[in-house]
């Protein structure tokens, strides 16, 4: 009496199976890297700033959500506060001087899908070295939608 015939393995040998798994993982990681690389946003200059408390902002009344500027350290660094989606805020991408006016280029950062909240986001920036000492410093915020907001840093 003979027993049942031994079963033959179906499918690839174990070594081939591992190779396919590794190839799948590498392909998946490559796709993630490609997607991540495509969604990288503009380079932000400056740092997030939590010191821009409401007392430091000069608001034109309740509900005023116009961009604001103020000193972090008088004559050395200042903050910019804008309002919008917390997941896609406007951020400073360049700071320069044009005719004695500090120009801050602002671009929206984040993803393509933004939260529907509306709140302040502040950034701390160093005053450009080429800025002449003055009692007041004019600041122009130039947004990526073409809008411009002029503010003054008072002593």
Q: Where are the domains of the chain?
A: 12-41, 47-153
**Per-residue burial over 31-59, b = 16 or more CB atoms within 10 Å of its CB, e = otherwise:** eeeeeeeeeeeeeeebeebeebeeeebee
Mean pLDDT over 3-11 rounds to 63
Q: What is the pLDDT of residues 42-55, one digit of tens each?
A: 999 999 999 865 55
Say what percent of the chain tops pLDDT 90: 54
Percent of the chain scoring above 70 in pLDDT: 67
pLDDT confidence bin for 149, thresholds 50/70/90: very high
How much is the pTM?
0.69
């Amino acid at each position: 009496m003979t027993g049942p015939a031994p079963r033959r393995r179906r499918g690839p040998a174990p070594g081939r199976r591992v190779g396919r798994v590794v190839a799948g993982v590498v392909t998946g990681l490559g796709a993630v890297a490609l997607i991540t690389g495509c969604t990288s946003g503009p380079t932000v200059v400056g740092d997030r700033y939590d010191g821009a408390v409401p007392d430091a902002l000069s608001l034109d009344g309740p509900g005023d959500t116009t961009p604001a500027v103020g000193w972090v350290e008088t004559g050395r660094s200042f903050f910019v506060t804008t309002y919008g989606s917390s997941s896609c805020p406007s951020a400073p991408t360049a700071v320069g001087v044009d005719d004695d006016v500090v120009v801050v280029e602002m671009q929206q950062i984040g993803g393509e899908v933004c939260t529907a909240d509306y709140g302040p986001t502040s950034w701390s920036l160093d005053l450009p070295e080429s800025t002449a000492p003055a009692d007041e410093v004019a600041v122009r915020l130039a947004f990526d939608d073409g809008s411009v907001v002029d503010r003054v840093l008072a002593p």
